[in-house]
Amino acid sequence: MKTLFGKLADGTEIHSWSLENGGTRLKVLSYGGIVQSLEIPDREGRYANVSAGFGTIEDYVARSPYFGALIGRYGNRIAKGRFTLDGESHQLSVNDDANSLHGGATGFDRRVWDVEPFTEGSNVGLHLSCTSVDGEMGYPGTLRTKVTYTLTRQGDWRIDYEATTDKATVVNLTSHVYWNLAGEGSGTIEDHELTIRASRYTPTDSGLIPTGEPAEVAGTPFDFRRAKPIGRDLRDAHPQQINAKGYDHNWVLDKGVTAKPEHVATLRDPRSGRTLKIATTEPGLQFYSGNFLDGTLVGTSGRTYRQGDALCLETQHFPDSPNHPSFPSTVLRPGQTYRTTTIHSFGC
């Protein structure tokens, strides 16, 4: 179902698309490809929206910390907004102190996407597409992007990303949903139990840029190889956590890049019994514990979001990969097609 959600300052209409399948209810905006709400049942069959967001387009435009958005051209940070490709230097839009974050000042989270609904067998979904012209936000090449959101008959939310370019460029697309499985606006996620199938992570400098050498999680607060409450080590004295004000790091998934999605993470809320399992083809997972939510944002529930009231699990290639030859490559060339898939499976 398509409804008018609001209008931008220039009069552009922003629509909301509602999907339901397999017990999962999803609302998506044409602005930023934003997941405005995602509702799933708890162990008693009671539905709640488990994705942080806003009730108006004005708030998304003026205040959003990427709530629910599609991220591109490059998810996460590129140091000083600079990289060199094939001997040519490129300067990107800088929007995070000295660095470029999530594609720059006008990333894919601020684009109005073309949206087409579809039904395919027992699945329903949306095709979202946009074109980023050569030089936009400093990136080389005209990038044509198609993202498909699918709700399966099992209630899984699947994201398939595709992109092509007419010049060599770098691409790293992801989704920036803020999760709280107890329900949006219900309070802290510190009691959520998290598992990440990763033996290493990428430490960062003071600007949250990877230093380049992955470190072992063993013996550190970054060890989520067995399920543990997020709050258990959240305020540990580890210098990496002090620097990031919590968790805001890329985990190096043990499986690496894979042709098909493989299970990499599980999130469980003991209060409601809701679970989220993530499978992906990507080599990295950015776990962000909502460190910079400061009580100034009011969500769809009418409640404020405070530090640690939601978390992100962003499947991705590594931050700043264009400046680290040892990291999995994010280069896309003419004639190639960028393809990645991430599947979110819900249960209780």
Q: Which helix (H) or strand (E) holds 175?
A: strand 174-176
Beta-strand relationship, 174-176 and 69-71:
antiparallel
Q: Residue 214 is which amino acid?
A: P
Q: Cα 188 from chain centroid?
A: 19
Positions annotated as catalytic residues are: 176, 314
pLDDT at 73: 98
Q: Which helix (H) or strand (E) holds 241?
A: helix 239-244
pLDDT at 106: 97
pLDDT, averaged per 10 consecutive residues of the chain (348 residues), comes to 97 98 98 98 98 98 97 98 98 97 98 98 98 98 98 98 98 98 97 98 97 97 98 94 95 98 98 98 98 95 96 98 98 98 97
pLDDT at 222: 98
pLDDT at 137: 98
Q: Considering just the CA atoms, what is the radius of gyration of the chain in Å?
A: 19
* Tokens found for residue 51: 């994705």
304-314 pLDDT tens trace: 999 999 999 99
103-137 pLDDT tens trace: 999 999 999 999 999 999 999 999 999 999 999 99
Nearest to 145 by CA among 105, 111, 100: 111
